[in-house]
Amino acid sequence: MSTVNKVLEKKGRDVLSVSPDTAVFDAIEKMAGRSAGTALVMDGDQLVGIISERDFIRKIYLKKKCEEDIKVGDIMSADLTTVSPDESLENCMNLMTDKRIRHLPVVEEGKVTGIISIGDLVKYMVSEKDFLIENLQSYIAAPGM
């Protein structure tokens, strides 16, 4: 069974984070610099929320509240769904679909150990299927069969 841990082994465990007191514009700039659509919101080593480009567009830009003093804590999503490194990818896909979310922070023993996106899951699953197909083709084409 494929797990979140296997995805993180391929993807890496680097997490972009900001504090709740970070100015939203600074957070967006930091995200853009890393080509990231989200950042985890950390208060010290405690996960307290997540901010996405969507949060910015829906909660600031579309409401024309573009003051530079708005903080991440003012617009972040605090009702988080997290997974453990041992969670199955099928369960992650179901969670993301049911809750209409694109990112899942990975938490183990109260500490953030990574983050996975729907894109990470799809990429991993496609590579696993490609690997299986190649092995089956090699098996079928093997001499003496």
Read off the pLDDT of residues 35-76 as tens digits, 9 standing for 90 and up. 999 999 999 999 999 999 988 888 876 666 667 788 999 999
On whether the CB atoms of residues 131 and 125 are closer than 8 A, the answer is: no
Total number of domains constituting the chain: 1
Q: Domain residues for 81?
A: 4-141
Mean pLDDT, range 88-111, rounded to an integer = 95
pTM passes above 0.85? no
Residue among 60, 61, 34, 56 at smallest CA distance from 115: 34
Does residue 33 contact residue 57 with C-beta atoms inside 8 Å?
no
Whether 111 has a pLDDT exceeding 90, the answer reads yes
Radius of gyration of the chain (CA): 19
* pLDDT for residue 32 is more than 90: yes
Question: Could you tell me which of 27, 16, 17 has the C-alpha nearest to residue 72?
Answer: 27
Closest CA to 26 of 75, 77, 68, 78: 68
State the pLDDT at residue 87. 97
Q: What is the pLDDT of residue 132?
A: 59
State the first-to-last Cα distance of the chain, in angstroms, to the nearest integer. 29
Residue 134 has pLDDT above 80, yes or no: no
Closest CA to 67 of 76, 56, 77: 56
Rounded Cα distance, 122 and 72, in Å: 29
CATH number, domain with residue 75: 3.10.580.10
Residue 2 tokens read as 């494929």
Tokens 């465990």, located at residue:
13
